Amino acid sequence: MATEQGARRQVTITDPRALKALAHPARQRLIRLLAAGEVITATEAATLVGMSPSAVSHHLRQLEKYGLAERAEATGDGRERPWRIGADSIGLNPAPGDEVGTIATQSIVGLEITDLIDRLEAHQGQPPDPWGSYIGLGRRDFWLTRDEVEMIRDRLEELLADFDRTRSTRSHPEGARRHTLLVSFVPNEGVSLLDGARAADGDADRDAVRDAGAEVGAEVGRDG
């Protein structure tokens, strides 16, 4: 379901088939590419993600079906119309009791977390960042009402709306760097404040996340 908030386009996915389709690792790579502001043809994207142009075209059409990618105006000779991101914000909301949608959502979140870990590890042992020590992961726990959660989301969207989403690898202010902002609101009911088991099993969980992503991706590949 797509909604408009000002000039920002939001897509919330609840259909288990759409969640499963989105969980495909190749489609996640394409979403990240387009979310960076790239307006790119399937042929150009194929070179960047290591797939054939026909495979990329198939995945992009699947993303278009769910409002996550869209055709842009033709450029150059116009023989191949480029693609751009179809949403500024993507929400994943499987229905209660939807096992397929829940597993797919967990796989998508797992891919994002694994990517975050990889990028944090890439900074380990590197010279001090010229911008200072702002790179990392922050966490704060709050007791919030539903209205307060919605207020925080709205204010965050208003803040982010001030920034130009048309910037890309090819076009951005001098000195700008690409950043990724991950925001998560997760209720903690049923989770002990003293539970350290997950932290102790971090490596095993990470391997399980990757395995789940590969498994879902394989299923989507068979299903189209």
**How do residues 133-183 score in pLDDT, each as one tens digit?**
666 677 788 889 989 988 998 898 888 877 766 777 778 888 888 887 777
Residues ≥6 apart with Cβ < 8 Å to 46: 52, 53, 55, 56
Cα 77 off chain centre by: 32
Tell me which of 7 and 136 has the higher pLDDT.
136
Q: What is the pLDDT of residue 195?
A: 54
Give the angle subtended at the CA of 209 by the CAs of 206 and 215, to the nearest 5°.
145
Q: Are 174 and 127 in contact, with CB atoms under 8 Å apart? A: no
- For residue 91, what are the domain limits? 2-223
pLDDT band at 53 (very low <50, low <70, confident <90, very high): very high
Q: What is the pLDDT of residue 178?
A: 81
- Residues 28 and 118: their CA atoms lie apart, in Å, by 16
Q: How many other C-beta atoms can be found within 10 angstroms of the C-beta atom of residue 86?
A: 19
| Mean pLDDT of the region 55-61 | 94
Q: Could you tell me the CATH number of the domain that includes residue 144?
A: 1.10.10.10
pLDDT above 80 (res 70): yes
Tokens 């048309």 identify what position?
166
- Residues 91 and 72: their CA atoms lie apart, in Å, by 23
Domain count within the chain: 1
**How do residues 180-221 score in pLDDT, each as one tens digit?**
777 777 777 766 655 544 544 545 554 554 454 444 444 444
Tell me which of 223 and 143 has the higher pLDDT.
143
- Residues 161 and 156: their CA atoms lie apart, in Å, by 9
